[in-house]
């Protein structure tokens, strides 16, 4: 249980630190993009690979509860992306091949690409129309052996791989749903009306 407790404390602390670094101007513009898409009934397609994709799916579900025209890329019933639609692409590294490819295709057809990433100058960051920068684990310790890391004072995070980014984005997007509810005048009861009844 020792590592469980240490990891939980580290994740919670990293979440708090990362969320405080998110730029309000980036968030406000993201909200404006979402609300304009809703007003004009434009499609919002959500894309992410692996665990980032799961976070995206959870956000898409809540957007659906708020009656947005939202889809998840990769589903058999996902429609084509068209001019002025929105692609929300989630990738911590900003270099995940499938995500970058989807973003480039979206740009070619005239859709707007919104990236959530830790790296604004990544391939995804460079081809996006708008970015929300959310910092996760930005480097892995170069020294593999524990003793060398201790001597050099190098601390490798307990949470592996993209855990910090994915958890932070999940909390951020859940908070964003609450902000959208407020701006749209929606309550939990309104969301519940659109919640799945066959499960």
pLDDT in tens, the chain (199 residues): 888 888 888 888 888 999 999 999 999 999 999 999 999 999 999 999 999 999 999 999 999 999 999 999 999 999 999 999 999 999 999 999 999 999 999 999 999 999 999 999 999 999 999 999 999 864 444 444 444 444 444 455 666 777 889 999 999 999 999 999 999 999 898 888 888 777 6
Q: Is 94 left (phi over 0), alpha (psi -120 to 50) or beta?
A: left
Strand locations in the chain (E): 44-48, 70-72, 86-90, 112-117, 130-133
3-state DSSP call for residue 151? helix
Query: Does the active-site annotation cover 166?
Result: yes
Which residue in the list 36, 166, 188, 199 is annotated as catalytic?
A: 166
Give the domain 2-191 fold.
Answer: Rossmann fold (3.40.50)
Domain ranges of the chain: 2-191
């Amino acid at each position: 249980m020792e590592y469980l407790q240490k990891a939980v404390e580290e994740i919670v602390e990293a979440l708090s630190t990362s969320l405080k670094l998110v730029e309000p101007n980036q968030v406000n513009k993201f909200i404006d993009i979402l609300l304009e898409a809703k007003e004009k009934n434009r499609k919002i397609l959500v894309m992410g690979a692996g665990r980032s994709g799961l976070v995206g799916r959870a956000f898409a579900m809540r957007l659906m509860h708020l009656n947005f025209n939202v889809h998840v890329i990769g589903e058999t019933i996902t429609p084509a992306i068209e001019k002025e639609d929105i692609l929300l692409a989630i990738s911590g590294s900003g270099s995940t091949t499938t995500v970058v490819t989807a973003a480039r295709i979206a740009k070619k057809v005239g859709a707007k690409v919104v990236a959530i990433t830790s790296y604004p100058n990544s391939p995804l960051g460079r081809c996006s129309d708008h970015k929300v920068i959310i910092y996760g684990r930005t480097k892995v310790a170069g020294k593999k052996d524990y003793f060398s890391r201790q001597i050099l004072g190098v601390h490798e995070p307990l949470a592996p791989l993209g855990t910090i980014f994915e958890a932070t984005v999940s909390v951020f997007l859940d908070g964003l749903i609450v902000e959208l509810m407020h701006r749209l005048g929606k309550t939990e009861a309104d969301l519940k009306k659109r919640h799945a009844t066959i499960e």
